[in-house]
Structure 1
Amino acid sequence: MLKWSSIILLLISTIYIFNTQPPSVNHQLIIKAASQYKARIIRDDFGVPHIYGERDMDVAYGLAYAHGTDDFSTLQDILLAVRGNLSAKNGMKATVTDYLVQWMGVWEQVNEHYEQAIPLETREVVEAYAAGINSYAIEHPEEVDPWLLPVRGQDVVAGFVFKTPLFYGFDKALAALAEGKLGKGLDLQTTVQISDELQPQLGSQGIAINRTRSADKAVRLVVNSHQPLTGPVAWYEARLKSGEGIDIVGGTFPGSPFILNGSGPALGWSSTVNKPDLIDIYQLTINPDNDNQYWMDEQWHELEETEASIRVKIIGPLYWTAHEPIFHSVHGPVMKFDHGSYAVRWAGMDEIRQASFYHKINRAKSFKDFIDALAMKAMPSINFVYADHKGNIANFYNAMMPDRSTDSTIDWQSIIAGDNSALIWNSYVAADKLPHTINPESGAVFNANNTPFVSTDGEGAPLEKNFPQWMGIEKQMTNRAYQIKQLLSENSIITAEKLHGIKMDVNYSPLSAPIMVLNKFLTDGLPVELKEIERYQLAFEHLKHWDLNTDKNNTHAALGVLTITPIINHHMFKTEHTNINDNFKFAVDSLHQFHGKIDVLWGEVNRLVRGSKSWPLSGGPDILRAVYGWPLSEDGKLINKAGDSYIQFAQWKSDGVYQVSSINTFGAAMTRPTSIHYSDQSPLFAAGQERVVEMDIDKLLKIALSDEIIDGLVKD
């Protein structure tokens, strides 16, 4: 865990113990608020909710209720976390998260700007979503933490404000700064604790094919964001349709009233994580005679001081209340450590309109609608691979990019001197000035967490030279990006089956950095300390015959993947560098220890596990069939934790017909192990197959397992 000793020790030193009771909740007010909504929830043959309502707010109410039915515990933890109140439930392990919420000023921004910055139509939606959670909670009091109710629309908006910077690595930058390791990268979970489960690293990919490249003149989109399989950012599938324009199916996160990744009859998008330089850290010169003053523009300035108050559960009704000062300079909030004091400025630090952005793209009907939403500059980061029924395709490198053009000589990716106010940026680069690829001649676009300067298999990608270094735009390629480009270039015409095969590809590219390291290892030969030992000699010869394939029946993949995974983690996630000789030895020893041989089937090691059930998997880390299971389990297996989760294939055929198929790793009932939908999609997922999603209500009703009207008239 992260050692924020300068925070934690001060928290502990200012603790007061109280027998504290949660505030009383007026259930009648909650019931009255919910009575204005009415939603129809039809669950298909896999229990996936299809939610209908006259208004967008009715659909949001139904989505919240349905999600609570399937995963209330995660919803609850997220809401407590975004309030900075998770320690009241989870104790000391959540204090850093609660402090971070207050340090970031999440609630100052939401409370000050909610009415003005969020349009009424979006406020109505987030408030209806909050009402849906409240309704479910009142009907199921045994599941409810005493500090939860009532949930408000502001809680929903705050969830977006708090979580969106985490996608571009905000928490990691703070963690590295706290430990004096800025730039070296730390594990996501060392900072933010929303779930008790370890949240693995994030990836993603999206591919769009237009009519000119498609065998049957259909437009096709692969929606394939790689997320943890459980927890606060695990995908939950829903289909939403309102009388006001929302008509979409896709994945959402607990706490979101909107589809975040998906498609509808008009258009669709796949989101992928990008990590431009969106965080600036300024080192302050502190007055040696007054540690609350900093030097800037040739004079001393006072740090502004506020206070974080954190309620920490001990046991039963006993709580600690910890008080810790929060300091601000003109740059932003400040962290004080033994090794210095630093102010932090980040993209979106004053932004609360993320929910409005998603509301707009959920209702979008055209390419212009989507571009207009991007032009809001409300989403701090995230790439969007786009396609629509008209035949438009695009890859947008979206970012709230700080305009640092005042001084292009500064290394903005290092720590910056905090003594010059001219280096404090106050605006963002316009959306159309960022890298984008629109309708390239090749008829295909893609992104797989790689540089936006490689976004198609032909001409039309943006040129690196046209974008200044201070943007910090990624230049790296991933194995997945190499494979997509290669597989597209081998096929001038793409069929639906070929596109499916590209998405499910299980090979490493010889061009990928980890494979280059592996090939050098194989060329150089075993180190002296291993070459005299027979088991390593035999394993080395075995590894030479690996074809870089990760099919579940491959007998060389286990040794190969175990050898290169630490290298992949270093390249993708900036984990500590490891020596391939050590990796190889570990792989050989582990396979002998747990499986008795090195030529074990890859599917015996690479597993999808849900409860007592287990399935073999093809794929692996940084493979298009993405499976992330590192580290080895206690019985020597890689249990899938992240990667391919919600997958969608959408197509808009030349005759105007929209069709969609999808699969999720487990099932709709995310945290309900007694439900048949806890793992009913897993066999299909493990086999690399999908299910048809019925968008027509008459066809849906023929396969529906339930059809329920939720009218807000809950019973206390």
Structure 2
Amino acid sequence: MKQLLLPLKAFALLAFILGAAIGNGQAQNTPSEIIWDKYGVPHVYSQNTAEMYYAFGWAQMHNHANLLLELYGQARGRASEYWGDKYLDSDKQVHLFNLPVTARKQYAQQPPEGKQHLDAFVRGVNAYAQMHPEAIDAAKKQVLPITAYDVLAHSSRVICLEFLGSDDIRAAVREITPGSNAYAIAPSRSASKKAMLVTNPHLPWEDFFVFFEAHLSAPGFNAYGVSLVGQPILNIAFNDHLGWTHTVNTIDASDRYELTLQNGGYLLDGKVQAFEKRTVPLKIRQADGSVKTENLVLASSKHGPVVGEKNGKAYAVRIAGLENGLLGTQYHKMAQAKNWQEFEAAIKMMQNPLFNIIYADKAGNILYLFNGNVPKRPEGDWAFWNGTVDGRSSKYIWNSYHRYEDLPKVFNPGTGFVQNANDAPWTSTYPVALKPADFPAYMAPLETQLRPQRAVNMLKDDTSISFDELVAYKMNTGMEAGDRFLDDLLKAVQKHPDPVAQRAAAVLQKWDRQTEAHSKGAILFARWFDKMREDMFTTPWNPDQPFTTPDGLKDPQKAVALLVTTANEVEKRYGALDVAWGEVYRFRVGDYNVPGNGAPGHYGVFRTMYYYSADDNKEYAFHGDSYVAITEFGDKVRAQVLLSYGNATQPGSKHRGDQLQLLSEKKLRPALLEKQEILKNMEKREQLQMNQ
């Protein structure tokens, strides 16, 4: 197969031998075309879906080559060989869960079309590397050429080990976890009488969490959305008929077992079982460039791989879905579906072991689905399985999953909307449509945090939601915590006057209860709320009042004392109590540095942003609103989108951070769906042709 790059502005034709032809083995005479728009989004037009995925692999390398190769090197379990011991833990984890071997089994499971798509994507990645060696960091070139096994192992590593199993692998909950917001609005609640969808994942702005925005077209296929870098599919997308988004759900499909060690093995049902052990020679690059080999001894129990030992106990982790090999096939079918029936047939494949699905279509259907591979368990509630499980009894070792029909779902509710903001399925609409008692106690937790409460409270009384109103809801920076507790705090200051508290109260009285760049008082309130504990509220969270509790201050005098402490800290650090939010909280990527807005979700802020503290006394966003798409499904699909950090990570790319100003101004950009509009906003155009 030959690869020809034909940029319109170039005069030379370059050809490289890259392998066998795709498709039916015939020579492909019509080249694929990539029209790059001014935000670095590739719009791919191909004569068949295999060539389309070839161009998709090429385009991912164009914008993310170094990151892509680093991720594939890690998925291969050889990153420490390539780049040193800082990748050693990653390599050990990949081999512990045997991802390279599993990837080969997954490849063998692929149906002919799925294998064709995957192979084409890989060839596109390798073709770009051969055509543009100057664009790739020398250290990253060691990974080339990429194989289909690398891509499959990467998908398993990200979805199963990082999204699903990371807490159990580390035996501790991370401080910042992936999250998301989503709405689907039915025609009955839409001002235009057309269904609408809000897509809004919240992920860290780096590494394997980075999104790549793309538009893929071939006969019978036309989809626009985002892929996690390195994945050969659109993870979240819409087409001319329908769309879906994901939120991280409260699923527990990964379990951590405590094993009792005895006589070199572990106890199971009263007998000593031997660990299964294997040795993996792991090469590690040294600072002087030499490579040493460390023999990594890996142990597994009947529960799963052993991730560590402590105080005479071993800990094993069992993760659902690691064997799933047809994720790409499922997502291709999802993106290709033309109606609800075709879409449902695709998601019934159950290849994605986690993530809620929120869906809307042109016919007016909407869906919330608690999607994933939920293990069938003999007993225990969500808290039991979310903790450390006693590994001495084999009854706790699950071997099958609940069917699609068993999962909590809400389809076309009379309420006219569904939502999810990483809450349990019970609060997916209002009034509630699902009851926990109708499902196994381990299916999901009960409590609803402030951010999903905000999601429901913003629109539950709006019976005619316009497209612009939906955009405004998505961009809302208000604090549910402020609406819930500020009045009580101000009353407490009146009852227990203190000079410092009164000065702070004067600032809070004028605060707009938002986290806009210009909001003064938001920092003061947020730092005070951070000092509050659940037992300080008069009314704790109540499942019978899921959107209005917790409420009230149990000890007003204590609340005032905490405000005094907070005010002194804020004034000392920033020189004033009324410092503006955007003066401290910033958006910074590459050469861009602009005022921020939005705040962490535990304040009940729908515009979710997480920040890290820097040496310059500023806080910089590193996680939160990543990709936004507001889509309306009419005769023609209408969509506005934004990819917060820009659509490229390659050094020198103009698209690193080029959407931050829009993010700061809370603006979206129109998704370019018609070729005529794309050409009006074209940055460059190139053609890719594959010949036998």
TM range (shorter): 0.7 to 0.9
- Specify the alignment match of 2:549 in structure 1: none
Match of 1:186 among 171, 174, 178: 174
TM-aligned CA distance change 1:589 to 1:32, over 3 Å:
farther
8 Å Cα contact 2:455/2:606 also seen in 1: no
8 Å Cα contact 1:160/1:352 also seen in 2: no
- Specify the alignment match of 2:515 in structure 1: 550
How far 1:480 sits from its partner (Å)?
A: 2.8
Match for 1:284: what amino acid?
A: L
Match for 2:183: what amino acid?
A: I
Question: C-alpha separation between the residues in 1 aligned to 2:594 and 2:566?
Answer: 22
The CA deviation string for residues 103-159 of structure 1, in whole angstroms up to 9 with x for no partner, is: 1121222223421x2222112112111111111212233424243111111211111
How far 1:587 sits from its partner (Å)?
A: 5.4
Are 1:330 and 2:302 an aligned pair?
yes
How far 1:568 sits from its partner (Å)?
A: 10
Match of 1:174 among 160, 163, 169: 169
TM-aligned CA distance change 1:400 to 1:554, over 3 Å:
same
- Specify the alignment match of 1:17 in structure 2: none
The CA deviation string for residues 474-497 of structure 1, in whole angstroms up to 9 with x for no partner, is: 323233321221222221111111
- Specify the alignment match of 1:40 in structure 2: 33
Match for 1:131: what amino acid?
A: R
The CA deviation string for residues 50-92 of structure 1, in whole angstroms up to 9 with x for no partner, is: 0111222211111121121111111111101111112123322
- Specify the alignment match of 2:269 in structure 1: 297
The CA deviation string for residues 564-605 of structure 1, in whole angstroms up to 9 with x for no partner, is: 35779999xxxxxxx989986785456435532121222212
- Specify the alignment match of 1:180 in structure 2: none
Question: C-alpha separation between the residues in 1 aligned to 2:690 and 2:574?
Answer: 55
- Specify the alignment match of 2:552 in structure 1: none
TM-aligned CA distance change 1:46 to 1:441, over 3 Å:
same
Q: Identity, % of aligned pairs?
A: 27
Other structure's SS at 2:298 match: strand
- Specify the alignment match of 1:508 in structure 2: 479
How far 1:433 sits from its partner (Å)?
A: 0.9
How far 1:606 sits from its partner (Å)?
A: 2.1
Match for 1:125: what amino acid?
A: H
Other structure's SS at 2:616 match: coil
Question: C-alpha separation between the residues in 1 aligned to 2:20 and 2:677?
Answer: 35
- Specify the alignment match of 1:706 in structure 2: 684
Match of 2:261 among 262, 265, 286: 286
8 Å Cα contact 2:501/2:560 also seen in 1: no
Other structure's SS at 1:676 match: coil
Match of 1:76 among 63, 66, 69: 69
- Specify the alignment match of 2:632 in structure 1: 651
302-311 or 385-394, which moves further after superposition? 302-311
Are 1:595 and 2:568 an aligned pair?
no
Other structure's SS at 1:136 match: helix
8 Å Cα contact 1:82/1:162 also seen in 2: yes
How far 1:542 sits from its partner (Å)?
A: 3.1
Are 1:212 and 2:188 an aligned pair?
yes
8 Å Cα contact 1:160/1:355 also seen in 2: no
8 Å Cα contact 1:553/1:603 also seen in 2: yes
- Specify the alignment match of 2:545 in structure 1: none
8 Å Cα contact 1:607/1:614 also seen in 2: yes
- Specify the alignment match of 2:663 in structure 1: 685
Question: C-alpha separation between the residues in 2 aligned to 1:705 and 1:410?
Answer: 52
Other structure's SS at 1:112 match: helix
Q: What's the C-alpha RMSD, in Å, of the aligned pairs?
A: 3.2
8 Å Cα contact 2:186/2:196 also seen in 1: yes
How far 1:422 sits from its partner (Å)?
A: 3.0
8 Å Cα contact 1:167/1:273 also seen in 2: no
Match of 2:585 among 587, 606, 611: 606
Are 1:307 and 2:279 an aligned pair?
yes
8 Å Cα contact 1:222/1:649 also seen in 2: yes
Other structure's SS at 1:667 match: coil
Match of 1:242 among 209, 213, 218: 218
Question: C-alpha separation between the residues in 1 aligned to 2:437 and 2:380?
Answer: 18
Are 1:366 and 2:339 an aligned pair?
yes
TM-aligned CA distance change 1:525 to 1:341, over 3 Å:
farther
How far 1:347 sits from its partner (Å)?
A: 1.2
TM-aligned CA distance change 1:479 to 1:330, over 3 Å:
same
Question: C-alpha separation between the residues in 1 aligned to 2:162 and 2:566?
Answer: 31
Match for 1:260: what amino acid?
A: N
How far 1:237 sits from its partner (Å)?
A: 0.8
- Specify the alignment match of 1:344 in structure 2: 317
The CA deviation string for residues 374-421 of structure 1, in whole angstroms up to 9 with x for no partner, is: 222211110111001111001111120000136789933333333333
- Specify the alignment match of 1:10 in structure 2: none
8 Å Cα contact 1:30/1:150 also seen in 2: no
TM-aligned CA distance change 1:96 to 1:521, over 3 Å:
farther
- Specify the alignment match of 1:179 in structure 2: none
- Specify the alignment match of 2:179 in structure 1: 203
- Specify the alignment match of 1:6 in structure 2: none
- Specify the alignment match of 2:440 in structure 1: 468
583-592 or 700-709, which moves further after superposition? 583-592
Match for 2:473: what amino acid?
A: I
Question: C-alpha separation between the residues in 2 aligned to 1:430 and 1:216?
Answer: 36
8 Å Cα contact 2:588/2:657 also seen in 1: no
Q: How does 1:472-551 map to 2 (within 5 A)?
A: 473-510=444-481, 538-539=503-504, 541-543=506-508, 546-551=511-516
- Specify the alignment match of 2:234 in structure 1: 259
8 Å Cα contact 1:594/1:635 also seen in 2: no
Are 1:666 and 2:641 an aligned pair?
no
TM-aligned CA distance change 1:277 to 1:556, over 3 Å:
same
- Specify the alignment match of 1:575 in structure 2: none
Q: How does 1:24-63 map to 2 (within 5 A)?
A: 30=18, 38-63=31-56
TM-aligned CA distance change 1:118 to 1:521, over 3 Å:
farther
How far 1:95 sits from its partner (Å)?
A: 0.8
The CA deviation string for residues 517-548 of structure 1, in whole angstroms up to 9 with x for no partner, is: x777766669x9xx98x656633553465453
TM-aligned CA distance change 1:81 to 1:494, over 3 Å:
same
Question: C-alpha separation between the residues in 2 aligned to 1:410 and 1:569?
Answer: 18
346-355 or 40-49, which moves further after superposition? 346-355
- Specify the alignment match of 1:270 in structure 2: 245
- Specify the alignment match of 2:12 in structure 1: none
Q: How does 1:380-529 map to 2 (within 5 A)?
A: 380-405=353-378, 411-458=384-431, 461-471=433-443, 473-510=444-481
Question: C-alpha separation between the residues in 2 aligned to 1:33 and 1:580?
Answer: 70
How far 1:312 sits from its partner (Å)?
A: 1.6
- What's the TM-score, normalizing by structure 2? 0.86
TM-aligned CA distance change 1:405 to 1:706, over 3 Å:
same
Match for 2:300: what amino acid?
A: H
Are 1:354 and 2:330 an aligned pair?
no
8 Å Cα contact 1:205/1:270 also seen in 2: no
How far 1:98 sits from its partner (Å)?
A: 0.6
How far 1:559 sits from its partner (Å)?
A: 1.4
8 Å Cα contact 2:54/2:122 also seen in 1: yes
Question: C-alpha separation between the residues in 2 aligned to 1:30 and 1:520?
Answer: 69
- Specify the alignment match of 1:128 in structure 2: 120
8 Å Cα contact 1:219/1:389 also seen in 2: yes
TM-aligned CA distance change 1:368 to 1:625, over 3 Å:
same
- What's the TM-score, normalizing by structure 1? 0.83
Match for 2:196: what amino acid?
A: R
8 Å Cα contact 2:252/2:382 also seen in 1: no
Other structure's SS at 2:676 match: helix
The CA deviation string for residues 282-301 of structure 1, in whole angstroms up to 9 with x for no partner, is: 332332xx31x233234332
